[in-house]
Chains A and B, each alone.
Chain A
Amino acid sequence: MAAQGGFEELLGRVTTYPARVEALGGSLLTNLAMVAEIPAPTFHESARAQFLRDRLTEVGYQSCHIDAQGNVAALLPGSDEGTGEDAAPTPLLVAHLDTPAAGDLDHTVSLAPESAHGVAVADNALGVAALASLPAVLEELDVQPPGQIAVLASTGGLGDGDIRGLRFFLAHTDLAIDFGICVEGVQLGRLSHGSVGMIRGAITCRAPADEQPTAFGSAGAIPTLNEVIDGILALPMPARPKTSVVLSQVRGGSPSIRPAASATVHFVVRSEAGRQVTSLVRRINEIVAEVDAASAATVELNIVGRRQPGGLPFDHPLVARTHRIMRRLELQPHLTPSTSELAAFISEGVPAITLGMSFGHDVGTDKERVSIDAMYTGVAQLVAVIEAIEAGYCR
């Protein structure tokens, strides 16, 4: 176990990091702009992956490759890795490569002195850019971690991707991963150390095949779907444990005189308790079966993603040390649960946290932007957490 004094020394110098990271801020902005301008909607990340693999090679990573799941993986060798019990811990830094934005949008990035604008710059081009900038940042800060650092830009990190990239990597890698850090573009101050239980699904209604679509009185799939939605919204939600159902997307029909032949609603059930998630999805399934039986339409439920709740307690050294680092950087840590990559680490029993790199604004819109000054603090905190892990302060 490393000495407490060493960690205090780290806290002492971390306050100098943001200004020193700013001195090479161009590296971070360069990577952000070049990554963000390559569209990468979930399941279509290959162009961004190829660029990133080449970029990681250029900036000093080793063993850069694209794996069978389309992930970009690379290693930064340590200065004194050691062996056996003396081996320095290996952290895996993960940023999801995919974005929620459609590939045909204008992905031009615009830089102003105070912020970077562009489609999905926050989610998650900035997280990926932080990985690509890490070697230059470590050099600028004269930080030489003893152990190797593994990085992964993972595919399928969003929505129906169901964090398949990271799951695949953790299931197949030969590396012994000791800690995980999920690197998200936003929000700075986020410290997620637990994952809520989650089930993501889609309910699809299809009008009867023999319905005459242009006949008066023909209703189509949308009214039936509406019955399902009404049923879901009427479900009682417990205040404790915190539980919610979010209807995230409705699609169906077309702007014509024809009733919709099919319609789909996507939903996410989340709860701090796994049994609540299971119970609610069972109730949704009953609603689906009831409406299916009572209408001429066909109604089907399809589950596309699951997360088990879990995570680290607040007093776990990784969480506690990170909390202190953030406070030293004058950040107010927000202890928010996560449904993203963290869940894959939790499933594998790897201690992990999620950090944000900057403040985002209008995220998910065509005005999405991230604050430039805040990025330097975000990257500084990341480096300090890596140092704390590598020095053994988080075991």
Chain B
Amino acid sequence: MSWLRTNTFHHGQFDPARLVEAKREQGLSVSLCIPTLNEERTVGKEVVIFIDELMRRHQLLDEIAVIDSGSADRTREVAAAFGADVYSAADILPAHGDNPGKGENLWKAIYQLRGDVIVYVDADIKNIHPRFVYGLLGPLLQDPEVGYVKAFYDRPLAEAGGTRPSGGGRVTEILVRPLFSLFFPELTAIVQPLSGEYAVRRSLLERLPFPICYGVETSHIIDVYHMAGMAAFAQTDLDRRVHTNQPTPALGRMAFRILQTFLKRVRSLGIVQELPDLGTLLRQFQVSDGRYEQVDWQITELERPPMIEVAEYQTLRAALRAAAATG
């Protein structure tokens, strides 16, 4: 319980101006990564607000980048028009191929972005506010032991005809929290382990493997816990986060990927000795013309290796260190 008391914050505890001072004192640089796929409706507002508030008014961010998975809408055009650096995930580390999925974008961001700290913020937030960034940077900038800060919220889901004042986190409550309770009880202190907003020190981030899709947050929590223990985590209450609700079948597919990631880890950590080879087929049902139809989904949660093991990254970082040393 002491971790919950000492490492849980509210964004109101942090003043962006003071965080800028702390960042300067520590000689840190901070990059913001917004992973996107068809987010033209919300990405422009995120970019404008973060640039205006956290680069112009308060020099808290050194870089704002959109890493796009091949949007078919105007996402890249809109983000670039408002001043973000826009990259196509497929163009980053091209020799390593390109996989569809948010985790892939987050992994490639480690190579592309320059910050000592990377903040990840999803692009689908409807009530975006600078607190989504400075609230996550606060614990990192005031405690050198903290390396990974997760967001949590009261998350109303936007629905037809209005918003619902409570709910959200269904996969967390139905799947992840019961699994953590069974296998990693300490991790249940993290209120929303699947939240898409977090700030991480590069020194930690580059050592983490990356599932390419929805398993990425679950794997991070388990891997950071295994590497550095609870003291490396903090969490910040960012109040409300309004986003579009996902239909239940999509949540089912998300849960399937998370379960693949989770079982892989309990096996590799030796927590469960014997597991059969896991299948990759998820069956769901839909009704068409009054008849039930089975829909088969082949789902495999691929994983990227820790970035520090990638040769191009080692070369790049060495070059950057050399350039910094020569001024």
Contact = CB atoms under 8 A, between A and B. Distances in A.
Interface of A: 24, 26-27, 29-30, 33-34, 37, 104-106, 108-113
Q: Which 4 A-B pairs have the closest CB atoms?
A: A111-B44, A26-B52, A113-B81, A104-B162
Given A108-B42, A112-B74, A33 B48 contact: yes
Contacts of B52: 24, 26-27, 29-30
Given A26-B51, A37-B127, A112 B44 contact: yes
Contacts of A29: 45, 48-49, 52, 82
Contacts, number: 62
Contact of B40 (A26, A104, A106, A112): A112
B78 A113 contact: yes
Contact of A108 (B40, B41, B53, B77): B41
B129 interface: yes
Interface string B107-136: 000000000000000000011110000000
B interface, how many residues as a size bin?
20 to 34
Contacts of A24: 52, 56
B161 interface: yes
B83 interface: yes
B163 A113 contact: no
B78 A108 contact: no
Nearest to A38: B127
Contacts of B82: 26, 29, 111, 113
B49 A30 contact: yes
B44 A34 contact: no
Contacts of A106: 126, 158, 162-163
A26 B78 contact: no
Given A26-B83, A104-B161, A110 B42 contact: yes
B242 interface: yes
Nearest to A29: B48
11 contacts: A29-B45, A29-B49, A33-B128, A34-B129, A37-B127, A104-B162, A108-B127, A110-B40, A112-B78, A113-B44, A113-B81
Contacts of A30: 48-49, 52-53
A109 B82 CA distance: 15
Interface in B158-190: 158, 161-163
B51 A108 contact: no
B45 A111 contact: yes
Contacts of A113: 44, 77-78, 81-82
Contacts of A37: 126-127
A56 B83 CA distance: 25
A29 B128 CA distance: 13
A34 B78 CA distance: 18
A111 B129 CA distance: 14
Interface in B25-49: 40-42, 44-45, 48-49
Contacts of A33: 45, 48-49, 128
